[in-house]
Structure 1
Amino acid sequence: MFTKREKWWGYAFIAPQMIGMILFSLLPLLFAFGISFMHWDGFGERTFVGLENYITQFQDTNFRAALRNTTIYSLIVIPGGIAAALLSALALNKVKGKDFYRMFFFMPVVTSSVSIAVIWMWLLNGDFGLINQVLASVGIDGPNWLTDRRFVLPSIAMLSIWWGLGTNMVIFLAGLQGISRSYYEAAEIDGASAWQKFRNITMPLLSPTTFFVAIMTVIGSFQVFDQAYVMTQGGPGNASYTLVLHIFDEAFTRSSFGTSTSAAMILFVIILIFTLIQFTVSRKWVHYEDNGR
């Protein structure tokens, strides 16, 4: 049991974090929830309108386009990002100089998102971009990646997979290094193939790490903003118009904070639902080494 003095010291140590979370996370969230039921331009009086802002959003073609685009983008980024990170981690797990490669892959993560987007605008330029030049060298006529409605979302998704590769790869690499070598030695004695070891040892014991990466990737993919804002401004047309870009436009372009926060609340609910579904489904496939499952 802790003494009263030790308990107070514990409260003192967690107080800064708790105060920060309340002031900068919980209170703004509650304020935004209240604003979502009002008409407000950010300066004048607030008028309560009930569910009108939410109804308006679902009737808004821009919101529906943003929801569709964000969903398509997420369907590309989530499996693509997880698979690329896992394969990269598996490749580096047995390579000498892992620290160097880990730093090399992680460098884009700590680079400014605007800088990354500008560089990829040049790489994806349909006229003189490096990617199309490489394709032309092998006889392939590359498309206009950022101005063609068919390719703009996959292009932004490709950037996002590359950009997030470092973080997810490092997490997977840590998970792989936490798996005891004794499991593989026992499997080798039994004559297990490389695929059997991966399927029956690596994947089950790596499932908690995969679950964490999946949760973070889902949340990040639905919150995509920087890439679309810098590279395309949501164009061509509304082909790369995302939910967070729509929230930004409603608030800071149209000065409609009520509809902006209602869209943000809808996005919050979408992410919450997907997260809860993942937690529910995870009980069937996530295995923890120390709980006997």
Structure 2
Amino acid sequence: MSAQATVELPRSVAQRAPRRGRRRRSELWFALAMIAPAGLGFLVFYLYPTIRGFYLSLTEYSLLGSPTYVGTENFQAIAHDEVFWTSLRVTILYVLINIVSQTVLAIGLGVLMHRLTKSALIRGSLLLPYLIANVVVALLWFWLLDYHIGIVNAALDSLGLTKVAFFGSSTWAIPTIALVNTWRHMGYTALLIFAGMQTIPKSVYEAAAVDGASEWRMFWKITMPLLRPILVLVLVITVTGSFQVFDTVAVTTNGGPGNASRVLQLYIFDQAFGRSHFGYASALSVVLFVILIGVAFAQMRLMRAGESDLD
């Protein structure tokens, strides 16, 4: 009996092995079928345009002719393009104002949600501005801040204060656009930060409270250090998105007055579709792509994205 059992066991294992192999292959094909639409979309709408963009950056090209290879001439021209450097400075100014204000407000909102309220309605309402299209938000604030008929300037005038040309002043244009986008995105950013705070064990706060730590001290000594991995993710997303600002500027100032609000994306769009310099616009896009990679890499290294203070 025992001898028969020892003979039958390898046979049953041998019979199950092909079945497992067939099951794994079927699961693999099923998984590939599920990701095929997303993979096809990635190839068609992301990978191919990216490769073609790199190629066009080395050419002189307009819609009326065929690409002519010119090597690195476009990049050499960028180095001496004053409008490009102005656009880069304007974009960096926008990013700094937008990221600082958005991050500070989002952290404040996240802490308030985490420590004071559990209402899903209040938390969900923070997302309402983010659900509105950028163009609609830009037009809304463009009318509210209009110098002649805007309700904000009407309120300033009724208080005896000087009206402000928010979108028509070279001093105020970029800060205004940055704060408009801060208003739209800070609720979404706050929810990301709030989700990160949910991963911090309550026992850590309870132990600190027993030791007599104040809310302010717990925020700086517990919340911020343990929130660092989430903050890295949030900053990479927001900084990358801020460098690509376009629609708010196009709807409100269109780069004016002068070049005071001509951000890089608007300059690329103007070179490509306004002047039909697609090769030069592609080179500008490559430069922006390299800048974004460098900024994201620096953020992740300086903030130690791969490490966690939560053991």
Compute the TM-score of the two structures, normalised by the length of structure 2.
0.88
Distance 1:223 1:244 in 2: 6
* Aligned twin of 1:125: 146
Structure 2 counterpart SS, 1:44: coil
Which residue does 1:183 correspond to in 2? Answer: 204
Tell me the distance in 2 between the aligned counterparts of 1:248 and 1:279: 30
Give deviations 1:66-94, integer Å, cap 9, x for gaps.
11100111111111111111111112223
Task: Determine the C-alpha separation between the residues in 1 that align with 2:188 and 2:68.
Answer: 44
Task: After TM superposition, give the deviation of residue 207 of structure 1 in Å.
Answer: 1.2
Distance 2:142 2:305 in 1: 42
SS of match in other structure, 1:118: helix
Q: Deviations over 1:128-187 (max 9, x none)?
A: 322223333444313211111111110101101111112101111212223221111111
Helix, strand or coil for the counterpart of 1:239? coil
CA distance in 1, matches of 2:308, 2:158: 48
Residue 33 (structure 1) aligned with residue 54 (structure 2): yes
Q: How does 1:1-293 map to 2 (within 5 A)?
A: 3-96=24-117, 98-283=119-304, 287-289=308-310, 292=311
Report if the CA contact (8 A) 1:126-1:142 is conserved.
yes
Residue 286 of structure 1: how far off its partner (Å): 5.3
CA distance, structure 2, for counterparts of residue 93 and residue 258 of structure 1? 50
Question: Conserved in 2, the CA contact under 8 Å of 1:223 and 1:243?
Answer: yes
CA shift at 1:109, angstroms?
1.2
In the alignment, residue 85 of structure 2 is paired with which amino acid? Answer: R
For residue 115 of structure 2, give the secondary structure of its aligned residue in structure 1: coil
Q: Quick one: percent identity of the two aligned structures?
A: 36
Q: CA deviation at 1:19?
A: 2.4
Distance 2:55 2:154 in 1: 52
Q: Is the 8 A contact 2:229 2:305 kept in 1?
A: no
1:288, distance to aligned residue in structure 2 (A): 4.9
Unmatched tracts of structure 1, length 5 or more: none
1:213-261 C-alpha deviation (Å, 9 max, x unpaired): 1001110110000111000010000000010001100111101100111
